[in-house]
Every structure is written in structure tokens, then in C-alpha cells.
Amino acid sequence: MKEIKHFINGEYVESASGKLFDNVNPANGQVIAKIHEAGEAEVDAAVKAARAALKGPWGRMTVAERTEILHRVAAGISARFDEFLEAECLDTGKPKSLASHIDIPRGAANFSVFADLVKNVPTEAFEMATPDGTGALNYGVRRPKGVIGVISPWNLPLLLMTWKVGPALACGNTVVVKPSEETPTTTALLGEVMNAAGVPAGVYNVVHGFGGNSAGAFLTAHPDVDAYTFTGETGTGETIMRAAAKGVRQVSLELGGKNAGIVFADCDLDKAIEGTLRSAFANCGQVCLGTERVYVERSIFDEFVARLKAGAEALVIGPPDDASSNFGPLVSLKHREKVLSYYQQAVDDGATVVTGGGVPEMPAHLAGGAWVQPTIWTGLADNSVVVTEEIFGPCCHIRPFDREEEAIELANSLPYGLASAIWTENASRAHRVAGQIEAGIVWVNSWFLRDLRTAFGGSKQSGIGREGGVHSLEFYTELKNICVKL
């Protein structure tokens, strides 16, 4: 049985406790590897290695030297594309057609994009008068923040981990990564690429385990970690924020959402259907930016529901290596229990089940997988938990609206504010409505269209801080002002 070990100070190491847990293929329920669980000793060793690396060769490198290495990391991921793809799909169950176009290429790009960006970001300089008439010069310099604790999620394991590690390393920091216990493989595999690219030992460290009383808790409690970045559910973000308050460590949190899509009658309906299908069902609905609430202008409501139903029922459910499939399983049987509980709650609350609502029939060799049907509801009250709580599954509720103001009010009615999508061909309406939506990112006539130079993050209970472009550099560096008396 394959074992997935920690990566500490440039080497793969076992847990001193000997504790192992299962890595399960969600497509068939079979155990594919054993994962070493970190205790306090492994986490402490990783943090100490990261701290030492700051004072070693990594800390003495120029920006040009550091970014050259990061470009080699990106090239190393691309050179082992098939290996990363296989590992990612075994961990998540997602179709290779999806992971090969998004997860792996973007995972590599996160190193090269931020390597280029960090070389071209200015700070500031000011001349000031002084009473003696000689003046003074103030100028800003960026310095690494230190050791960064990276806690990454299971839905886009490589992409969202490198989205944090790429800019952190570009800015000269070192990292200790705690990947999700569900999807550890590509994070561990990246250690080999780091070594081959010439990343000094201790710069990139990985510890495996769970949250409470395991690697996650030990990492967030460690006093020698300078900042934390996390993507995941709001409750876990609150826990990390409380832990980081001791020692006044900074946090960047991209948290849960219950994202709204607004479809106006003047939209291009073909675009709106295609975009909403992706936003509701891509990656089996396991996308933080996905659309679980859809508000449709009443005059096109029936047609929209019928067409979205047809699109959902045309999805091809199958395992990652089936080239014809475009809809995989959920990440685990445990997560399926959660999603199915909402499916049942929708029925209990009086929903009309437009399509789906259960578990599909699968061949015997896949019957143990975490399969679930893409599901659409109508008819729920606005206060139903199915409408107000994040499900993180392949489902959406569609509700009609009559006025623009009503749609805006509905979209903003929840304590989340991560993302939204607006569908209209009226340019004035697009700008007007987008400006009033309480969300960190608003798409107009598109979804998941990402320029890595732009700010990314949530408002309200969907997060704190922004990543992407210069905003990542602001989090991963300390801006120091130097004042020189002339």
C-alpha cells in the first residue's frame, strides 16, 4: 500500500507516532494510500525548518534568483503533468477533462505569474521638508513576512494550494502547508518538484492530518508562525482567526458562500444557461464560487427552468478516466451524507424537485463511490436552510423575481458575500446592479473568468483580505518605510 509522508526540510518523513489514516478514491470507495498523520513533533520540526530557511540561502537570494527557481517549479509541474493529473483525479474523483484544463495548468501558472509580478511592483517614495531646510527622503521597501501557515482545501487541491504558496515564496517567505486530509497527494508530490528545481530545504514543508487535535490545530497554535492563509468553510476560518489572535498574527481567509446568480429577461439566454450550468454543476458543485441560488425574471422563468433541467440531465456521470464523462463524484461519502441531507430537507420544506434529488445508479465497480445526482429545485421559501446555507454540492434553487430592486435585495439577503453572476445584455443595468451586489467578485455574462492580477476574496462572512496581483504581495510582505535625513 502506498504511503503519503510529510515533507519537512527537503525530505519525506514518517510520523513518529506511527499514526496513519486512509486516502480513499471517491469514485469507487477504495483505499488507495495510507497517509501519515502529523503530531506536534512533526509540525514543530516543519516550522523550525521553515524558520531556519529564512536565515539560510533562501533569505540571501535576490529577487531575480528566487523567481528563476519558481519558474523552474512551474516547468517541473508541467513536465510531470500526467503524474499530477492522475494524482489529483484519484484524490478528488473529478473528470480528467476538467483537471487537465484548470487544476494542473493553473497550479503551475501560480508560480510563474507571481514570479513575474513580484519583479515589477513598485512601492513609494516621498521627499519632505524639515525645519533645518535640508529635507528628508522616505521610501518603502517590501520584506518577507516570515513563516506562513497555509491551510488548503480539497475541492481544488493543487490550484488553491499553489495560489497561496506561489506568491508566498515569490515574496521570500517560507511555508508550512497543511493540505486537506481528503486530498494530500499533489501537495506531497510537489516536494519532489521543489527539490528538483533547487528550492532550498525548509522553504516548502508539508504536514498531513486533520483539524482539531491534529496537524491543523498544532500549526495554528504554533507561536513561530507569522501569518496564516486559509480557504474553506466559515466556521473553520473563525477557529483559525481565534488561534491567530494569540501573538497577533495576520490572516487571509477565503470562506464560505451561498452565491447568487441573477438572470434578467434581456439576457442572452444561451449564455445564461451555459454559464449557470457550469456555475451550479462544475466539479460536482464543489466550487466556492458556484451558484446555488438563481433568481430569474418572471417572464423567462419557465423557459429558463426547462432549459437548465435539460442541461443538467445531459451531464455524463462517470469516473475520471472516462473521456466522455463531465460529472464526477463528491469528494467523500461523508460529504455525500451532508449533501443528501439537504436534498431531503428540500423535499421536507415543500420544494418542487425539477430534476435529480438522489443517488444515480452506477456500475458495480463504482457503486461504492460518492455519487450524487445534479439537482434543481423550485418553490422553496426564502428562509429555507436549503436556500440560506452553503451545501457545496451539485444543486441550485431557482426563484422568480419581478423587479431589479427585488433581485438585488434577494442576492444581498444572506450574511455571505463571496461571488455573484449577472446575466443581462443591458450595459447600464450590468454596471448598476454589479455595483450594488455585496460580494467580492461579480461576473457579468460570465462565470469563473479569472485574471490573476485582480483582487480575489469575499465580503461579510465570506472572508477577510484579498489575494491576487499586488494584493497577494501586500499580505505576504511587510511594507517598511525608511526615512533618511538629508
> Residue 47's domain is classified under what CATH number?
3.40.605.10
| Averaged pLDDT, 246-275 | 98
User: Could you give the CA distance from residue 340 to residue 356 in angstroms, rounded to a whole number?
Assistant: 11
Q: How many CA atoms, within 13 angstroms, populate the side-chain half-sphere of residue 108?
A: 22
Domain check: are 206 and 297 in the same one?
A: no
Q: Which residue has the higher pLDDT, 121 or 422?
A: 422
CB atoms under 10 Å from CB of 263, counted, come to 27
Report pTM: 0.96
Q: Is 284 left (phi over 0), alpha (psi -120 to 50) or beta?
A: left
CA distance 256 to 211: 17
160 and 12 in a common domain = yes
What letter represents residue 174's amino acid? T
Q: 390 and 425, same structural domain? A: yes
Q: What percent of the chain has pLDDT over 70?
A: 100
**Active-site residue list:** 254
- What distances in angstroms separate CA 175 from CA 52, 84, 125, 226, 227, one per listed residue? 12, 21, 30, 10, 10
Instruction: Give percent of the chain above pLDDT 90.
Output: 100
Assess whether 305 and 425 both reside in one domain: yes
Same domain, 423 and 470: no
Residues 261-277 pLDDT 10s? 999 999 999 999 999 99
* Integer Cα distance of 67 and 446 in angstroms: 33
Q: Is residue 457 part of a domain?
A: no
Q: Is residue 177 part of a domain?
A: yes
Same-domain pairing of 251 and 264: no
Q: Is 397 helix (H, G, I), strand (E, B) or coil?
A: strand
- Residues 35/184, Cβ–Cβ less than 8 Å: yes
Residue 446: band (very low, low, confident or very high) from pLDDT cuts 50, 70, 90: very high
- Residue 288 falls inside a structural domain: yes
Q: Domain of residue 126: give its range.
A: 3-255+462-485
151 shares its domain with 213: yes
How many of the other CB atoms lie within 10 Å of CB of 33? 20
**Confidence grade of residue 122 (pLDDT, cut at 50, 70, 90):** very high
Domain for residue 343, yes or no? yes
Q: What is the mean pLDDT of residues 205-221?
A: 98
Alpha helix positions (H), 215-268 = 215-221, 234-245
Quickly state the pLDDT bin for 115 (edges 50, 70, 90): very high
State the pLDDT at residue 113. 96
Concatenated DSSP letters for 264-294?
-TTS-HHHHHHHHHHHHHGGGG--TT-EEEE
- Res 470: pLDDT: 94
Q: Is 240 in the same domain as 298?
A: no
Q: What angle do CA 375, 380, 383 make, to 5 degrees?
A: 120
295 and 243 within one domain: no
Residues 187 and 97 in one domain: yes
Number of domains in the chain: 2
Mean pLDDT computed over 73-88: 98
Q: Is residue 246 part of a domain?
A: yes
Same domain, residue pair 335 and 468: no
> If you average pLDDT over residues 420-437, what whole number do you get?
98
Let me know if residue 456 belongs to a domain.
no
Tell me, yes or no, whether 451 lies in a domain. Answer: no
Decide if 450 is inside a domain.
Answer: no
- Kindly indicate the confidence band of residue 389, based on its pLDDT and cuts at 50, 70 and 90: very high
Residue 193: its pLDDT value, please? Answer: 98
What is the band of 147 on the pLDDT scale with cuts at 50, 70, 90? very high
How does the average pLDDT of the chain come out, rounded? 97
Residues 144 and 210 in one domain: yes
pLDDT digits (tens, 9 = 90+) for 5-15: 999 999 999 99
Interval 436-464 mean pLDDT: 97
